[in-house]
Amino acid sequence: MSENFEAKTLDSLINMPLATIDIKDDCGITDVPQINSKRSNESEWIKSDEVKKRKRKLKDYQPNYFLSIPITNREITGGIKILQNAIIQQDKRLAKAMVTDGSFHITLLVMQLLTEDEVNIGIDALLELKPFVEEILQGKHLILPFQGIDTFGNQVGFVKLAEGDHINTLLEIAETAKYIFQEKGILAGENRSFKPHLTFMKLSKAPWLRKNGIKKIDPELYEKFINHRFGEEMLYRIDLCSMLKKKQNNGYYHCDSSIVIDELESSSSAVLQSYSKDLPNWPRGEKNGGEPDDAELVRLSKRLVENAVLKAVQQYLEETQNKKQPGEGNSVKTEEADRNGSDRDNNRK
């Protein structure tokens, strides 16, 4: 009876559908059933095809957009202009290698956006970045101090970001931005490590310089500024900018979208409210007899709000930073004192 039971049990086990079960022997070798082998081959082929496509994309990867932190403090920009002029006085040919006024910035991330849809995805990614940046800052301002000069291979001259905890914070923001953009399928980032810097000259801007014997930036040209302190910039805005589109009238890059950081945005709320009343006056679309659809209206509204924020913040920063310029406060007081002294003299007469 026991033998019959074992025989029946063995028969039932043989007839069980075990074709999809992998069996490992003592040597660690897996006996893969035929159906799994086919699926594995198909899976490997798909993975291989995806890798080839990814490699092809990376091969054609040419960044044409970037995240920019604009540098607007006049103490910094003015110091850079003095530096540039000092170099040009030593070699006038280098004037064409200088970064133009108005376009000073720190590049946070580079990326490739080839279509309007991809640009819109980039705008969405930038908007998603804002709460993460504010969480990283935890209500504090990120102050970026600039001091000293360095180069990349003696080809690109830049003002250095001084050492300090602010560098780690900026690196964290850059890594977060890279993650968010890549998660949305955007080719973003560089192979080299992120090194925040403020470029003031590039020999590549004037390729003919090489033919004229200028192959490197001579350190003697900027030795007087090697440890010069240029000033501090507060992170208040991050822009999504195009490398190829025509620059703005002020020399800054074409900007598709921006985020304003922390309390500076709230300080502009009154300005935003005054601008928002003009929403009905925006140009109408061509659909439905000239009436815009919901998506178009939302897009136009966003652009209007963004422009209002940028204008308000730019004005706010220029006013506050100009007040902090060395000597300006003293000159105002001197003028007032001169006027008061003149009035007293007139009264005496």
Residue 250 has pLDDT above 70, yes or no: yes
Residue 314 has pLDDT above 90, yes or no: no
Residue 110 has pLDDT above 80, yes or no: yes
Confidence class of residue 60 from pLDDT cuts 50, 70 and 90?
confident
Closest CA to 141 of 76, 236, 72, 69: 236
**Where would I find the H helices in the chain?**
2-15, 34-59, 74-90, 116-137, 165-183, 208-211, 263-267, 269-276, 294-323, 328-348
Nearest-10 crossing angle of helices 328-348, 294-323: 60
Residue 220's SS3 state is: helix
pLDDT tens digit string along 156-212?
A: 999 999 999 999 999 999 999 999 999 999 999 987 888 999 999 999 999 999 888
| Residue 304 exposed, middle or buried by CB count within 10 Å (0-12, 13-18, 19+) | middle
pLDDT of residue 192: 80
Q: How far apart are CA 108 and CA 189, in angstroms?
A: 9
pLDDT of residue 54: 54
Helix or strand (DSSP H, E) at 144: strand 143-152
Q: Which of 21-25, 155-159, 200-204, 298-302 has the lowest mean pLDDT?
A: 21-25
The pTM (predicted TM-score) of the whole model is 0.62
* Contact between residue 67 and residue 239 where contact means Cβ atoms under 8 Å apart: yes
